[in-house]
Amino acid sequence: MIETKLSQAVVAAVKSLYGLEVEESAVQLQKTRSEFEGDITLLTFPFVKAARKAPEQVSAEIGEYLVANEGLVVKFNVVKGFLNLSINQQHWVATLNNINADADFGYTRADENSPLMMIEYSSPNTNKPLHLGHIRNNLLGYSISRIQEANGWKIVKTNIVNDRGIHICKSMLAWLKYGNGETPASSGMKGDHLVGKYYVEFDKHYKAEVKELMAQGMEEDEAKRKAPLMIEAQAMLLKWEQNDPEVRGLWREMNEWVYAGFDETYKKMGVDFDKIYYESDTYLEGKSKVEEGLEKGIFYRRPDNSVWANLTADGLDEKLLLRTDGTSVYMTQDIGTAKLRYQDYPINKMVYVVGNEQNYHFQVLSLLLDKLGFEWGKELVHFSYGMVELPEGKMKSREGTVVDADDLIAEMVAQARETSDELGKLDNCSEDEVNDICRMVGLGALKYFILKVDPRKNMTFNPKESIDFNGNTGPFIQYTNARIKSVLRKAAEQGVEVVAANEGMEITEKERTLIQMLTNYPNVVRQAGEDFSPALIANYVYDLVKEYNQFYQASPILKEENAEVKNLRLLLSANVAKVITSGMGLLGIEMPERM
């Protein structure tokens, strides 16, 4: 890479000029700002003190050395402590040829010796369908998996399904009381929607009971505890814990409805998992692991029989692990899940994709896993992301005010169809092609709009803004890619064969800028992996597309009469499309060949 060659040359320059020994990592290079002449800028301030000269003089001396000794640099200019370097034309054309020859450009492929990263995402409850918040979680988790895979990690994508607890019993009880035997088959509803319907039903009737008890003079907290529905739900949970065959049978049946619904939604979203764990299996493993920690003196038991971890020496507080009655808490389940995962896979790094409201939970979990001997415990990554809202505000599952994932996906596809019809973009396509393109565009709009935002920030999702064919949107990027594909198809129809470019030819500033942007793609992929940030990929691709559109408007391609220039522009276009498709693929976004 050019940065490596230049860094080595700068190291040699400062040693020769000033007798200063520096590491390559200390050399600071960046793209030259657009208002200055040059391609790459060296920050020379770090060498000024050792040289005992003014920044301008140090910059000029290093620039003269590089022009004389490093063939890449043809000229330079100085702006205080900034040395702007112009790179020779042959380098950029040779670089384009190398990018074209590299089918895996930007990627580092894993081999049998690569470390293994496990990434957990989704983590749904089986009492309701997936909603907009789950969409952000799933899209982030899946994209991070692809980005880390591109950085040479072996990846295992996992999901922990929260399939037990009082919230599950609420849906079950409401279905028994108000369902009249309704099933997905009899109602025509997806199973997760049907079960979610009865979760909302429980809350509606429960609130009515609480209101009635309060009207009789009871305090609100007492009314919530003594409402008949809540007492029945708690009794059902106890029966579940005791393995009551009738309760367990209903639980299995309703969960199967939900799993079938989840699978359908995951398929629509284009996400998947290598391994699914279930809380109903892992919580018992967690209890046994806590008992083991108790025996080793890692945890302690209080007089009321509850089990705790004392983390005050680590700057945290005390954490409950088993209640007085011996039942588990979420932390116990996570410890059990970790135990099973560690048995199943040789994990080097564990990543949990969970919202930022759980920051403290994962601080505690990391410490507990480390104390229990899990090698990756202390190094686990809580990928903490912000909440997603609609312009109307927050969503509430119990009140049925969530934005359902299936409904949102359908709406996005419908809006893509409506927008495409208005613009006449798909007039020459068959109905099957139209449906497939609209699916890709609708989902691309949804995914890109969510993933382009810094994942650590809260965000507001606006469906209408996301589907725009102009601006920083998925459809804009997809349309540019389709335009390039159209140009390449027309060139092929004209019998034009795209080959390696002549490295001795002159290129324009626009062409050089585009090639330089392409060379930065591997750096962006690496940085996105280090930062766990799909947004870096999304915004890089958008900037590349903007730059290409300016090039496309200013530079004839198919009408260019000079065959050598036409070939270079087609080669450049093909590789821009390659990187766009690659980058969007890391976001889980499909690219239509035509639009």
* CA-closest candidate to residue 237, choices 194, 283, 186: 283
* Tens-place pLDDT, residues 381-433: 999 999 887 776 554 444 445 688 999 999 999 989 888 888 777 777 888 98
What are the two backbone dihedrals, phi and then psi, of residue 131, each rounded to the nearest 5 degrees? -125, -170
At position 376, the amino acid (one-letter code) is W
Measured between alpha carbons, how far is 164 from 233 in angstroms, rounded to an integer?
12
pTM of this prediction exceeds 0.85? yes
Residue-level pLDDT at 422:
80
Residue-level pLDDT at 402:
67
Measured between alpha carbons, how far is 458 from 206 in angstroms, rounded to an integer?
32
What domains does the chain contain, in order, with CATH numbers? 2-87 (3.30.1360.70), 411-586 (1.10.730.10)
Measured between alpha carbons, how far is 586 from 36 in angstroms, rounded to an integer?
33
Measured between alpha carbons, how far is 171 from 179 in angstroms, rounded to an integer?
10
Residue-level pLDDT at 81:
86
> Which residues of the chain register pLDDT less than 50?
395-400
Residue-level pLDDT at 398:
44
Contact 476, 470 (CB under 8 A): yes
At position 278, the amino acid (one-letter code) is Y
Residue-level pLDDT at 391:
73
- What DSSP line would sit under 327-374, residue for residue? -B-HHHHHHHHHHHHHHHS--SEEEEEEEGGGHHHHHHHHHHHHHTT-
User: Residue 487's CB: how many other CB atoms inside 10 A?
Assistant: 18
- What DSSP line would sit under 263-286, residue for residue? HHHHHHHT---SEEEEHHHHHHHH
SS3 content of the chain, % helix, strand, coil (to 5): 60, 10, 30
Measured between alpha carbons, how far is 480 from 482 in angstroms, rounded to an integer?
5
At position 353, the amino acid (one-letter code) is V
73-79 and 82-87 strand pairing: antiparallel
Contact 84, 77 (CB under 8 A): yes
